[in-house]
Structure 1
Amino acid sequence: MNSKRRSAVLVALLVSFLLVITGCGNKPTATPAPAEVKKEEVTKEKFKVAYVYVGPVGDAGWSYAHDQGRKFLVDKIPDVETTIIESVPEGADSERVITQLAEKGNKVIFTTSFGYMDPTINVAKKYPDVVFMHNSGYKTSENVGTYFGRIYQARYLTGIVAGKTTKSNTIGYVAAMPIPEVIRGINAFTQGVRSVNPAAKVKVVWTNTWYDPAMEKDAAKSLLTAGADVIAQHQDTPGPMQAAEEAGKFGVGYNMDMSKMAPKAVLTSAVWNWGPYYVKTVEAVRNKTWKNDQYWGAMSDGIVDIAPFGPMVAEDTKKLVAEAKDQIMAKKWDVFTGPIKDQKGEVKVPAGQVMTDKDMLSFDWFVEGVDGTIPK
């Protein structure tokens, strides 16, 4: 190739290169379509609610029942975020836990054991913008309310079942703590037993614990050895029911339907239904209509009931329970309607008179038919 042709080729290549560069430099920058612009997502803040449990949620009893209520709340109000702290001892530990929950921004804190009462009151003073709900207690303040249910009504009905079932006329009762709540339950149960079987007695053994599966079961075994053929309980595990089944006897559960844990023994159970109340309370706080009252819900509210009967319960027994339940639900009659005698046979509630809530909430004596004492 001669020099002239080489020069022409080089010029042509240079021109082409310059055109490419110029074209690239003038290429307009693409503008994303409006639909492609990334918008900042707005996240709605959750309404935080916390629960403090005295036992593990797997206790199949008290704490499990409350946790079922919590799950009901979450299902009904999806934008609620819940936190649970389980197996919290009553006393100083509970005050520390409740404080931590208040610090973490929870708007409502449910403390679900009697021994959390003073710790709840103490923490509430420091966090006036948080609502505290204490279960089974009696102290309130501007931002503390109490809640419970008239489980004694369900206890009475289960007492009818036990009274009709026993053959030995000795019914054992494994009791937790000697406080009015537990005493009231024993008395109501005994009233139910003796309404259908005046010869029967209810023998009480105290464990002084809420949650101790081994101790509760051993206490039931001691009652079975003493001649009981039906076991009732105010404890947080099905241990007493399992002891009854192992001995070939019967039982009345508490908190939840305990028939799955001892199907051959459980006649029925006195049960809680906390869910609707938790929904109602949280909605009231959010709507700023909450009041620091002392709720004590009746069976007619749906907060307490009895579980389905076991296959061993006779039809005539079911009929007696249904008749008594109808009276209670209609508020035509209640459990502690006189005449009611104490263990010494002295009339404590005259015929036709109904115990006041104040008197029931401060029960410190046993009714006639209870075999046992109340520790100081």
Structure 2
Amino acid sequence: MDFGRISRRHLLQGSAALALGSTLGTRGAAAAETTVGFIYVGSRDDYGYNQAHAQGAAAVKKLPGIKVVEEEKVPETDAVEKTIESMVNLDGATLLFPTSFGYYNPHVVKMAGKFPKLHFEHCGGLWSDKDPKNAGSYFGYIDEAQYISGIVAGYSTKSGKLGFVAAKPIPQVLRNINAFTLGARLANPKATTQVIFTGDWSMPVKEAEATNSLIDQGVDVLTCHVDGPKTMVENAARRGAMVCGYHVNQSPLAPKAYLTGAEWNWEALYPKFVKMIVAGEPIPNFYRGGLKEEIVKVSPYGEMVSAEARKHADDVKAKFMSGEYTIFKGPIADNKGKTVIAGGTDRGQQDPELEKMDYLVEGVIGATA
């Protein structure tokens, strides 16, 4: 048996392991430092969703007096409960980041109830006042960075045809598609965005097929909202198209094709949360922010981005940073011609109507179902 490949959750499948865990969880060394656990649904080096969180964990490791334990490829099942119990009992973790969206209910909620003195922070904005108070939810307005990517894409496209490979037509994904398109049309009013939904968060074969299909239809700039953009980025670059990334900076995968991208900035947020916990400061149960709050960021511009595009994008970014810019400002029509935001109406980032978004804006070619 390869003991090096045994995960923490497997160690907890026997009563002996549980006894060992309770013993180690109280050892003196643990009391001298704070242990933080990170759990990922996929690989830490996926150039996507999981890598973004892993980069945040790497920043936490640099803090004095902090120990970080991690486990990757943990399914959104009771497997995450076993991993949490292991990190608590074997490693003495007192702050846990189960990062995948599907971990929260029922798994994180259940574990927060079981360990009321520990802290659980979950990515996705799902916490409600009915949930345990030692659980919290955080998320970012990454549509702001998608909007900036759209501006750059609008200047960079030669065909006027942009492409978006998306997982599912849920409000957060639609918000990103719409923000990207509105940004692009700010720069190029005739630009269109064609969307292909793959049906799930990680489907590399379908993502490759969607990328090729879009390029075959004349799209010359692509972006995405899937867990692992690597497939889209590499395939698009291979076909001679330009790309805007998502989750992390994918420019190493396609240095000549990469324009910019919408990134999570967990490297700033996670150390902040850990410092708050160590200092005994409460973290709000529902924590959100955008570019101004440094929860999201924009990838550095690639060599093909023009000076005009850079200036326009930087000007809008500065307005986001000062809190003076609204993406969803009426009048806005959907792609069927119906007015969805009336003239004179601003839907700021905290507007509950944006949480229910079920439409694609004018300029998007595609359907939400």
TM superposition score normalised by structure 1? 0.84
Report SS of the residue matched to 1:239.
Answer: helix
Tell me by how many angstroms 1:153 deviates: 0.5
Indicate conservation of the 8 Å contact 1:137/1:146, yes or no.
yes
Indicate conservation of the 8 Å contact 1:134/1:145, yes or no.
yes
Indicate conservation of the 8 Å contact 2:125/2:287, yes or no.
no
Tell me by how many angstroms 1:168 deviates: 2.0
Candidates 58, 61, 70, aligned match of 2:45? 58
Summarize the Cα distance change of 1:357–1:145 in structure 2 as closer, same or farther, 3 Å threshold. Answer: farther
Tell me by how many angstroms 1:43 deviates: 8.1
Candidates 299, 316, 336, aligned match of 1:344? 336
Question: Which runs of structure 2 are paired with 1:154-173 in the superposition (5 Å)?
Answer: 154-173=145-164
CA distance in 2, matches of 1:148, 1:42: 33
**Which residue does the alignment assign to 2:216?**
225
Count of aligned pairs between the two proteins = 334
Summarize the Cα distance change of 1:196–1:217 in structure 2 as closer, same or farther, 3 Å threshold. Answer: same
Candidates 87, 110, 122, aligned match of 1:101? 87
**Which residue does the alignment assign to 1:34?**
none
Question: Which runs of structure 2 are paired with 1:123-134 in the superposition (5 Å)?
Answer: 123-134=111-122
Indicate conservation of the 8 Å contact 1:160/1:193, yes or no.
yes
CA distance in 2, matches of 1:85, 1:228: 38
**Which residue does the alignment assign to 1:18?**
none
Equivalent position amino acid for 1:248 in 2: G
Indicate conservation of the 8 Å contact 1:143/1:292, yes or no.
no
Candidates 89, 99, 106, aligned match of 2:75? 89
1:289 paired with 2:281, answer: yes
Tell me by how many angstroms 1:42 deviates: 7.9
Summarize the Cα distance change of 1:46–1:90 in structure 2 as closer, same or farther, 3 Å threshold. Answer: same
**Which residue does the alignment assign to 1:327?**
319
**Which residue does the alignment assign to 1:259?**
251
Report SS of the residue matched to 1:260.
Answer: helix
Tell me by how many angstroms 1:83 deviates: 1.2
Candidates 358, 361, 369, aligned match of 2:363? 369
Report SS of the residue matched to 1:173.
Answer: strand
CA distance in 1, matches of 2:30, 2:118: 23
What is the RMSD of the two structures over their aligned residues, measured on CA atoms? 1.9
Indicate conservation of the 8 Å contact 2:192/2:363, yes or no.
yes
**Which residue does the alignment assign to 2:24?**
none
Q: Which runs of 5+ in 2 are unaligned?
A: 1-27
Deviations 1:108-144 (A, max 9, x none): 1112122122021122111111111110132243111
Candidates 251, 259, 272, aligned match of 1:280? 272
Equivalent position amino acid for 2:197 in 1: W
CA distance in 1, matches of 2:176, 2:88: 33
Indicate conservation of the 8 Å contact 2:148/2:313, yes or no.
yes
1:74 paired with 2:61, answer: yes
Tell me by how many angstroms 1:353 deviates: 2.0
Report SS of the residue matched to 1:326.
Answer: helix
Highest Rg: 1 or 2? Answer: 1
Tell me by how many angstroms 1:226 deviates: 2.2
Q: Which runs of 5+ in 1 are unaligned?
A: 1-40
**Which residue does the alignment assign to 1:268?**
260
Report SS of the residue matched to 2:329.
Answer: coil
Report runs of 4+ in structure 1 exceeding 4 Å deviation.
Answer: 41-44
